[in-house]
Structure 1
């Protein structure tokens, strides 16, 4: 007797490969468009971040464009609210056995609160969209969808040097917001360094 098929089937490797290639193409198109958007955006900020959580370690590369105009500022501009857009690509490496590294492509708008000077402390938060290369990280950690939301909060310091470099500590959370179960979510603590080019 034939078994009944579940209404939810895991995507084939070909479908996952197509999704990842589409995400890369979209990231490339956005990156290309933003590189030539000089009147609106600051020069590109490139960064690297690495860290770990309970289930895996992560390393990623990031490119970010900040709007030249503040969204809001005090009359003295001692406190400013800024908006930026980040494109990222990363690799998750699971702890223990029963898993292998998976890829993560993301696009995240970021709100940042900072002071007026070239150096100083900042705080930021953002919610973006991410596509994972597959849904299974390990035997113990399986996501129901390759699509994930990425929430983040960070605090950091701008050094005000010639590269406008920054160092930040970030908490990053991924989940599909209950679109489909199971939705185990995953958290990472990351250290990020970035500079303008």
Structure 2
């Protein structure tokens, strides 16, 4: 029943996003990450903030909302080699990007809410709640006016709401495309 409820929620969010007019979605990304004997694949849709947070001739701070759906695969479920744990994650994160005008390089950071389909228990790391907070810190490069590639470190934790709360860390590679 728990998986059915989570699947229903995930499907509802995806259908809602699919019914948003195409011009409302500003971008999409595909991301792959690894850490703690766990790998993930994530797809995201982005909506830019209405205006920049700060802009000058030397620096710009802009932002976007990132709605994501990911599949995690742990390779040491309950710390047993060869045992797997597959779970699904839905997240919403406000991301902040800092970049010098004219530069192709940028920095990015964000903290968001993520819902896991089941409790994470892999490689001697446990998360005791389905609601997790995910923080990201990354760097990137604009490979064209509409596309960029980025590398980030990510940390998931429930912020001490309930124990155990070992936290999980990932390194990821993301490719993004901005719609015209």
Same fold (TM over 0.5): yes
2:93 corresponds to: 108
1:84 corresponds to: 64
Measure how far apart 1:175 and its partner are.
0.6
Deviations 1:129-184 (A, max 9, x none): 111111044373332111111100010011234xx110100001101001111111
- Cα distance between partner residues in 2 of 1:121 and 1:68: 22
1:55 corresponds to: 37
Query: Residue 101 of structure 1 aligns to a residue in which SS?
Result: strand
Query: Residue 179 of structure 1 aligns to a residue in which SS?
Result: coil
1:1-197 map, 5 Å: 14-26=1-13, 28-29=15-16, 32-33=19-20, 35=22, 37=24, 44-74=26-56, 76=57, 78-95=58-75, 96-117=81-102, 120-138=104-122, 140-161=124-145, 164-197=146-179
Contact 1:55/1:186, CA 8 A, preserved across alignment: no
Deviations 1:8-61 (A, max 9, x none): xxxxxx134314422442454356458564xxxxx5211111121123111111
Contact 2:132/2:157, CA 8 A, preserved across alignment: yes
What is the TM-score with the length of structure 2 in the denominator? 0.85
Higher strand content, 1 or 2? 2
Contact 2:126/2:167, CA 8 A, preserved across alignment: no
Report the aligned-residue RMSD: 2.2
Contact 1:156/1:167, CA 8 A, preserved across alignment: yes
Measure how far apart 1:94 and its partner are.
1.2
Report the structure number with the largest CA radius of gyration. Answer: 1
CA 1:139–1:113: 2 relative to 1, 3 Å: closer
Q: What is the number of residues matched between the two proteins?
A: 174
Structure 1: stretches of 5+ with no match in the other structure: 1-13, 38-42
Structure 2: stretches of 5+ with no match in the other structure: 76-80
